[in-house]
Structure 1
Amino acid sequence: MTATTQPSEALAKAKTPRTERGRKTLRLILDAAAEEFGARGYHEGSIARIAQRAGVAIGSFYTYFDSKEAVFRALVADMSRQVQDHVVPVMLAAPDRLAAERVGLAAFLDFVRNHKSLYRIIDESAFVAEDAYRRHYVEVAEGYARSLEQAFGRGEVSDGDWQVRAWAIMGMNVFLGLKFGVWDDSRPVDEIAAAAHALITNGLAPRA
């Protein structure tokens, strides 16, 4: 899941802390928001409980965010960036693009299993902050398409429609994450990644 890892607009709009203590507090608030929204959803979630989970005063929350929607938007961007930070280095370390797809999916499944609130938060953003929801996928897809085209230039993949391929692989990964990351985490991630890798590498056509 390759894409730019620059801070998103939503995170940039958060009141940027100037000290290490401030950055730690912001991190506590975002992590607490992930717990709150992951457990209760956006509409039932509350700023008071986010502050309580983070162990900070309500006033400290408003030091960084003006509203519940503001912290939710920042959280969507933050979780998107966390996925990239977890997956992209693993893919870049792979010897070629096909190998990168396999280890990248395994890393994504590993992330999802440790951040199961990801799906609820991203799905709710489609209704709470549709622009943030769209940006989450579009930015990843654009980076993915570019990286596939670059892999073609290196002779690592066949030619094709990079946009269609990017969205197709992303769609597969999203639903594999839902099934084998959120709903059922009993199977080894490498086993799931190997099965998906075989599909990407060989397709569905029968082999001679």
Structure 2
Amino acid sequence: MSENSLPTPVLTKKGQETRKKILDAAEHVFGELGYYDASIVLITQHAQVSQGTFYNYFESKKAIYDELIRQLSRELRSAIKVAIMGATTQEENLRLGFLAFFRWIKHHRNMYSIIQQAALVDQELYRWYYAKLAAGYVRSLKNAMNEGAFREMDHETLAYCLMSIGQFIGMRWVYWENEDVPEAVLETAMSMIMKGIAAKP
């Protein structure tokens, strides 16, 4: 995880668009071919830019892979944060978070394969991705427990349990079938979760 994209303190609007186009192309190429079969040539061909243009923004294939995962992580966490702003209960907070994840991943289905590749390409980056996501869950769970909405349990353990539920439900319907998660499926998951963690009245 040591390689980074080249410093770009100020980018013109066109520069921002070009950088995004290259990252979008990398998302497609890494997702479809895998890290080891992907190449800068294929990424630039898909982005319809020259290799020279690529190197204006990224030092190497590993550098753009790292930045792609960081960027997708930021976008996903931002989408969830925005979605849960209107929640009035902790249960609604969880439900809206899951729905936001399912909506976002439907537009970034290659994220599943890209992240799993990181387990072989860069374990530190792989752990970073899940740790950042877990941190948001931990904050929400602490708030819920402080309010008395959820019973006291280990925050990190619960965070990874909740992430696993979202991960595999999304994989089953969104990634494998390219479908929306059925409402009954989400409600089944929510019922199981709430019966396990909700504070007793």
Cα separation, partners in 2 of 1:107 and 1:188, compared to 1, 3 Å: same
Runs of 4+ with >4 A deviation: 8-11
Cα separation, partners in 2 of 1:35 and 1:185, compared to 1, 3 Å: closer
With normalisation by structure 1, the TM-score equals 0.86
Cα separation, partners in 2 of 1:112 and 1:10, compared to 1, 3 Å: farther
Whether the aligned pair in 2 keeps the contact of 1:10 and 1:74 (CA below 8 Å) is no
Count of equivalent residues: 196
Hey, what's the Cα distance between the residues in 1 that align with 2:14 and 2:98?
34
Out of 62-71 and 20-29, give the one that drifted further.
20-29
Matched, 1:24 2:29: no
Structure 1: 5+ residue runs without aligned partners? Answer: 1-7
Letter in 1 for 2:38: G
Whether the aligned pair in 2 keeps the contact of 1:102 and 1:197 (CA below 8 Å) is yes
Whether the aligned pair in 1 keeps the contact of 2:22 and 2:54 (CA below 8 Å) is yes
Match of 1:5 in 2: none
State the SS of the aligned residue for 2:11: coil
Identity %: 31
- The CA RMSD over aligned residues, in Å, is 2.1
Letter in 2 for 1:15: P
Deviation at 1:91, TM superposition (A): 1.6
Structure 2: 5+ residue runs without aligned partners? Answer: none
Matched, 1:162 2:123: no
Matched, 1:15 2:10: no
Structural mapping, 1:170-185, within 5 Å: 170-185=163-178
Structure number with the bigger relative contact order (C-alpha 8 A, sep ≥ 6) is 1
Deviation at 1:185, TM superposition (A): 3.7
Letter in 2 for 1:86: A
